A and B are shown apart, each in its own frame.
Chain A
Amino acid sequence: MADIIKSTHRGIKVDIFEEDKMKTHLKISDRFRELLKQELQLWQADGLISTEQSSAISQRYRLDQMAKESTNRLLFAIYIIGATLIGAGAISFVAAHWEQITPSAKIGLIVACMLTGHIAGFYLWKVSAKSPRLGHALIVLGTLVFGANIGLIAQIFHIKSHFYNGLNAWAIGAIIMAYAVESVPNAFIAIIVSFIGFCGWTGDNPQSFCYYPFVAAAIFLPFAYLCRSVLIYILSLVFIGASILVSLSVVCGNWWWWGPSFSAFYLAAIGLGLFYFGYGLLSDRTSGFRHFTFPAVLLGVVFIALSAYILSFESVAGHLRWLPYEDWRYYDTANASARRSEISVYLAAVILWIWAIIKGGLSDRRFFLVSISGLVASALIISGIITAEFLPRSSGQYSDYSIVDCFWIVVLFNLGCFALCAGLVAGSFRTESRGLFWAGIIFTALVITSRFLEYETGLLIKAVIFIACGISIILAGVGFENYLKRRRVANE
């Protein structure tokens, strides 16, 4: 990066870099700058600030660059859409298997198309710097055409392979290019394509080791850090988690609501929630990467909340109490491999939490209550799942389990939901965050409403509960806003 900034064409590169730096450091939105620009004129007209002060503020927030920035962003979006369409055209062209040209000419043509995209893109972006965004889009086009080329060459040589081999080859080429020119769209292609490739691969090799989460963590996360890309960071975390859950489901020859993978699936989902949580707390204590905190903590809360919510239904929790069919294929192997995945996830989560706590992650009042509630909710759900594992199981017939059979387990899962709700609401008071408050209140209302819809309760009671829920939400909202107002007055 430093190299690029120092070179001759660096004017524009510096602009882009400065723009990113300003936004990261000052954490200001474009909306704020827009309003500020309007207000500055009024302040100056009213004599509140001098012309010098106005231009100093304007310079600090680069208000004169706003029009150019938004044009640039729009142009980049248009270029990327154009490149994607041209790439899609190239792929269709390959699929059409155009007969009029010979195979060697076809290879020459499409390889030339790829090289033209790359070289012209590199020239425009990094060498002449005349049109960096168009250049970037051309490199993305080159990578899309590269993917099409893999298909074309397989077709010319009559190679019929599994589709995921082609996708994985494409992902490797794309991520190498992403690192070489620090291009987020190239990394985006790599991560999406590799995940689809992974799903195909694991479907065909259910008993093989699930390599993907490690590869994604080792390749995509460092890229997210290198380019400070929140998009790639979130996608990496989501796909690391999703790949573990997908392989857990596939390895057992079942999908997530059924059979021996059921408890493994939810144990892993909770473990992943804790992992994200720990990761977020750790990012918060790592200078320069604070903007990675919120997405990770949010993912953690979502994973734990979703697991708790789905399991809180009696009919779902009841599945934990089923015996698998006796002829279940790979049952023992599947269980052993599911356990291995879970243990690795929990181990990673524990390491991250300890690391974050050592670095003072919990001493920050913003995350303390939410983190504790996440831990308590996870502990309640895990103990529910373990209790279900240890209690004698019913015979596998749907009619054989009843509410008595899993009553306490369902209670534990519901307590898990409420622990999380309580943490979110309490955390919102401490941090004066409306987002947290409404997340907690809406989740509480959702859980209560679900319970009343789930169990057959008389219409009258349902009506009373719904009205009570509605009134409580309104009162809670008003109360919270009053609280915020009092705090604001006290602060002033």
Chain B
Amino acid sequence: MNKCLIWFVVAVAAQLLILAAVPAQKIRARTIGKTIFLKTAPVDPYSIMSGYYVVLGYEISNPTVSSEWKKWPQGKPVWVVLRSDPNNNVWYAISVHDKRPPVPDDCVVIKGKVGASRWRIEYGIESYFIPEDARDKVAQDLRNNSKEAKAEVKVDSSGNAAITKLIIQDRVYEY
């Protein structure tokens, strides 16, 4: 009986651990990460919603400061250094690296990888899940005001990012 109970407790603990491990990195970024704002750029304006989430692209998904990364193989880790534009508080890419670079105080480094299509860098913040009844509203807003949409993102010291809010003009969508 005791042995069986111990194994049962181990199994339940293992299931809880797995559940905790899934969002561990995102929780870390949300808790201790630095808040930045990124301008979104539509991936496919005709298909903003993909099932339960909006597919977001960012200006930093295709950083024009360098084209070197486009030659790198798919899946290769990439570090992009970002700096804030004091005029609109939006962060933009200033350099792209294949190793983690030293970062000045006023900058943030975000970690990504060369995407499947090799045209984009993926940071793991490309999907934003929306509740069922808000889907049409958000998709419509995003479609109409795609140039004025930005995302609030938290980036931790290792460069891992977590998306927390979607902001279109003065409307904040937080789910």
Please give the distance in Å from B88's CB to the nearest CB on chain A.
24
- Chain A CB within 10 Å, residue with most, of B1, B3, B53, B127: B1
Q: Which residues of B contact A97 (CB under 8 A)?
A: 52, 129-132, 175
CA–CA, A150 and B1, complex, Å:
30
Residues in B with CB closer than 8 Å to A103 are: 175
Residues from chain A with Cβ under 8 Å of B129 in the complex: 97, 155-156, 158
Q: Which residues of A contact B10 (CB under 8 A)?
A: 176, 180
Digit string of B35-68 for contact with A (CB within 8 Å is 1, else 0)? 0000000000000000011000000000000000
A52 on the interface (CB 8 Å rule)? no
Contact A146 B8 (CB under 8 A): no
Asked if A324 CB lies within 8 Å of chain B CBs, one says no
Bound together, the chains give a CA A281 to CA B134 distance in angstroms of 61
A-B contact pairs, 19 of them (CB 8 A): A3-B3, A3-B4, A8-B1, A96-B132, A97-B52, A99-B133, A126-B5, A150-B22, A154-B22, A155-B129, A156-B129, A157-B26, A157-B30, A158-B162, A159-B23, A169-B18, A177-B11, A177-B12, A180-B11
Cβ-based interface call for B16 (8 A):
yes
* C-alpha spacing A86/B100, complex, angstroms: 47
Q: Hey, which chain A residues are within 8 Å of B132, CB to CB?
A: 96-97, 99
A173 part of interface (Cβ distance < 8 Å): yes
- Cβ contacts under 8 Å, B15 to chain A: 114, 118, 143, 146, 173, 176-177
Give the shortest distance, in Å, between A324 (CB) and chain B (any CB): 25
What are the 10 tightest A-B residue pairs by CB atom distance, in nearest-first order?
Answer: A160-B127, A180-B11, A180-B7, A99-B131, A157-B23, A173-B15, A157-B26, A7-B1, A177-B11, A97-B131
B5: chain A residues at CB < 8 Å are 122, 126-127
With A and B bound together, what is the CA distance between A173 and B19 in angstroms? 9
CB distance from B4 to the nearest CB of A (A): 6
Q: Kindly state whether residue A66 has any CB partner on chain B within 8 Å.
A: no
Is residue A32 within 8 Å, beta carbon to beta carbon, of the partner chain? no
A172 to B134 Cα, complex, angstroms: 34
Which residues in A have their C-beta under 8 angstroms from that of B131? 96-99
Q: How many A-B residue pairs have CB under 8 A?
A: 108
With A7-B1, A97-B130, A122-B8: A146-B19 Cβ-Cβ less than 8 Å: yes
Chain B residue total in the interface (Cβ 8 A): 37
Task: Report the nearest A residue to B125, measured CB to CB.
Answer: A158
Bound state CA distance, A169 and B11, in angstroms?
13
Interface residues of A (CB under 8 A from B): 3-4, 7-8, 95-99, 103, 111, 114-115, 118-119, 122, 126-127, 143, 146, 149-150, 153-160, 166, 169, 172-173, 176-177, 179-181
Task: Find chain B residues with CB under 8 A from A3 CB.
Answer: 1-4
Contact B163 A158 (CB under 8 A): yes
CA of A29 to CA of B19, assembled, Å: 43
A224 to chain B, nearest CB (A): 18
Q: Does B73 contact A (CB under 8 A)?
A: no
B44 to chain A, nearest CB (A): 15
Interface residues of B (CB under 8 A from A): 1-5, 7-8, 10-12, 14-16, 18-19, 21-23, 26-27, 30, 52-53, 124-134, 162-163, 175
Closest to B20 in A: A153
Closest B residue to A121 by CB, please name it. B8
CB distance from A477 to the nearest CB of B (A): 53
List, in ascending order, chain B residues with CB within 8 A of A98's CB: 131
Q: Is the CB of A155 within 8 A of B19?
A: no
Q: How far is the CB of B122 from chain A (nearest CB, A)?
A: 10
Contacting residues, chain A, for B8 (C-beta < 8 A): 118, 122, 126, 180-181
Among A4, A97, A179, find the residue whose CB has the most chain B CB atoms closer than 10 A.
Answer: A97
Report the Cα distance A114→B13, complex, angstroms: 12
A111 touches B163 (CB 8 A): no
Give the docked Cα–Cα distance between A173 and B22 (Å): 13
Residues of B within 8 A of A127 (CB): 1, 5
Interchain CA distance A4-B7 in the complex, whole Å: 13
B67–chain A nearest beta-carbon distance, Å? 26
A397 CB → nearest B CB, Å: 35
Q: CB distance A155 to B52 under 8 Å?
A: yes
A119 to B127, CA, bound (A): 35
